[in-house]
Chain A
Amino acid sequence: MTTNTAASATTGLDGTTSDGAPVSIQGLSRSFGAVRALDSLSLDIAPGELVALLGPSGCGKTTALRIVAGFETADSGTVTVDGKDVAAIPAARRDMGMVFQSYSLFPNMTALENVGFGLRMRKLNTAARVKKAAELLDMVGLSPQARQYPHQLSGGQQQRVALARALAIEPRVLLLDEPLSALDAKVRLQLREQIRTLQQRTGTTTLFVTHDQEEALSMADRVGVMREGRLEQVAVPSELYSRPASVFVAEFVGTMNRIPADYDGLDEVTVLGSAVPVAGDRPTDLTGAVDVLVRPEGLRVEAVPGGNGIVTGLTFLGSLTRVTVLLSGDVQVKVDKPSTAAASLVPGTSVQVRVAAGEPVLVAAAGGSGGSSARGVTSS
């Protein structure tokens, strides 16, 4: 357990430094009746870091966030901010800024008044309050909307005001509860960037909850993938993608193909007609029929008469085309191929699919998710 006493300082707009505070979550557990929403969750967030909690609905990520914020209490476990246990501190005094999923702006106040609300609670005098609130609205690019009421603003604008409102109090921790879920795609993309930029500029430690893996991967310094109350893996996005710790993570992050294969229990797993030697850890509890997990970019496809599959569709993605191939045994795989080369693969073409040389694959139990997380690597 690291104790971060020296927080990393970041220089803000006006030259002042703001320190994000380190957050440490240890052994957090919470049950609602018979349902175990959180199962001994532990996570350390470094000062100024943006950590995303990613997972399907019901995995406990929002519960964890709300416990940190003080709106729920944990059955056991601690939340420590900057070395202090926050359990006894009521939500109103935790000095955390929270952005809710939607409609959290006070409808009877203008954007400016909304942003200034936290400052009013901190007894800032009117002049200072208005000045600071205006600054923040400017930071999110909504100065012209300062005097407008929430119902006059679009969803994206409302969330930007909510962000400004949370940042106005210069919180030690910023909490974001799926802030982009209620917005449409284009707005979501714009806001993603803006949130990330602002967060880095102010250096606020941030915990961000989402079910959208693209969002998490593109915004966060580290991502914690959750499932059924437990953290399956916490890592930087690239590591989550290329070295998933479990089958669940592998399939949740990015696209993953699942292909039946044969494992001899020792050295080799036979997939798509080629033997892939297992290097490194040997999967201990699996033999015989297994599933192999491999990314679309880890497969190769060529037009070959009498091959092991038939092209059923093509999805143009720009420089790459995603080719959907139906293999024998009713297995469908997606293979990424440069678009110029993929042009000839019309639906119905007979093709040969194989694992690319040097591509790491995951070996999992046949037929479902779960199973061990051993790897095999092609060496041919």
Chain B
Amino acid sequence: MAAVVTAVEAAEQAPVPERPAAARRSFPVWRWVILLIAAAYFLIPLYAALRFAGFRAFTQVTSYPSFGSALLLSLRLALIATVLTLVLMVPTTVYVYLRLPSIRRIMEAITILPIVIPPIVLVIGVLKLAPGFLLATPNLLGLVYVVLAMPFAYRSLDAGLRSFDVRTLVEASNSLGAGWPTTLWRVVIPNLRTAMLSATVLTVALVLGEYTVASLDNFQTFPVWIVNFEQNSGPVSVAASLLALFVTWLLLMLIVTIGGRSARKRGGAEVALFSVSTAANVSATKGEPE
């Protein structure tokens, strides 16, 4: 569009006319179309659910005693699962990272398994094998949830270990005279706080949303209650679902903000909650919570 100008003419022109802006690469219209469709698809059902449930249903939800006991059961299981997961996975992950780095690949592969194996398949196997005394209590669920939470816990912790120079700190601690337990407790774990928080929140979110295993084990956790309660009142179930979603959202926001804040303090990048790290791995969130 600009006229071709020889060097001589250019010298004689002063001031030089403004250049036309080069055409931007992509036409922005399609981008807005996509974003709009996405926004509609994801937000309308939320709105619809709110409308469907109606304000009354929300107040009614908490009034049913079965709601309370189901929620309490879920929370109890979440606590058990989280504690067990941390107790099992933190020492293991640290140990493998420091002492057995050669099997890290195998660890990643093993911890993918609970994602690869559909919980529906896992639970039927567990139910077949579990001894009677475990079957009678809901605590079996807690034990199974540890297996389900393993992928997320391992990945969070492994990412956390990679984010600071563990080896050097451990060596420094040892050289200053601290034994293994002290080093673990005072040096490694405090630096893993964010990762442990991530693992905790992901486990809690998992347990609160888990339906498959609980329903087949015939225990009325919160999601199971929601489904069963639909017979009585659709709107109440929907209201309870929205509450569950809201709590999940809160929990995830929690990780992102706390994790982001502490990572920024250390000068790191955003917390990679949903990251696909290097080879042979899966994102930290899977599609459907069980």
Asked whether B5 lies within 8 Å of A85 as measured between CB atoms, the reply is: yes
Q: Secondary structure of the A side of the interface?
A: loop
Question: Which of A76-84, A240-248, A273-281 is the contact stretch?
Answer: A76-84
Asked whether B16 lies within 8 Å of A27 as measured between CB atoms, the reply is: yes
Instruction: Tell yes or no: A87 within 8 A of B by CB.
Output: yes
Which residues from A are CB-within-8-Å of B14?
27
Residues of B near any A CB (own CB < 8 A): 1-8, 10-11, 14-22
CB distance from B7 to the nearest CB of A (A): 5
Asked whether B7 lies within 8 Å of A3 as measured between CB atoms, the reply is: yes
Asked whether A73 lies within 8 Å of B6 as measured between CB atoms, the reply is: no
Q: Which of the listed residues B2, B16, B20, B21 has the most CB atoms from chain A within 10 Å of its own CB?
A: B16
Asked whether A76 lies within 8 Å of B2 as measured between CB atoms, the reply is: no
Asked whether A88 lies within 8 Å of B1 as measured between CB atoms, the reply is: yes
A76 to B8, CA, bound (A): 17
A77 to B19, CA, bound (A): 8
Asked whether B10 lies within 8 Å of A24 as measured between CB atoms, the reply is: yes
Asked whether A83 lies within 8 Å of B6 as measured between CB atoms, the reply is: yes
Residues of A near any B CB (own CB < 8 A): 1-3, 24, 26-27, 70, 73-78, 80, 83-85, 87-88, 90
Which residues from A are CB-within-8-Å of B22?
70, 73, 90
Which residues from B are CB-within-8-Å of A76?
15-19
Which residues from A are CB-within-8-Å of B10?
1, 24, 26, 78, 80, 85
* Known contacts A1-B8, A24-B10, A85-B10; A75 and B1 CB within 8 A of each other: no
A24 — nearest CB in chain B belongs to which residue? B7
Which residues from B are CB-within-8-Å of A84?
4-6
Asked whether A1 lies within 8 Å of B16 as measured between CB atoms, the reply is: no
* Known contacts A1-B7, A84-B4, A85-B5; A73 and B21 CB within 8 A of each other: yes
Asked whether A26 lies within 8 Å of B6 as measured between CB atoms, the reply is: no
B8 — nearest CB in chain A belongs to which residue? A3
Identify 6 new A-B residue pairs, CB closer than 8 A, beyond the known A24-B7, A80-B10, A88-B2. A1-B8, A3-B6, A26-B10, A77-B16, A85-B2, A85-B3
Q: Which of the listed residues A73, A74, A87 has the most CB atoms from chain B within 10 Å of its own CB?
A: A87
Asked whether B2 lies within 8 Å of A26 as measured between CB atoms, the reply is: no
CB distance from B151 to the nearest CB of A (A): 28
Please pick, from B2, B3, B11, the residue contacting A1 in the complex, using a CB distance under 8 A. B11
A2 to B5, CA, bound (A): 14
Asked whether B8 lies within 8 Å of A26 as measured between CB atoms, the reply is: no
Which residues from B are CB-within-8-Å of A78?
5, 10, 16
CB distance from B25 to the nearest CB of A (A): 11
CB distance from B16 to the nearest CB of A (A): 5
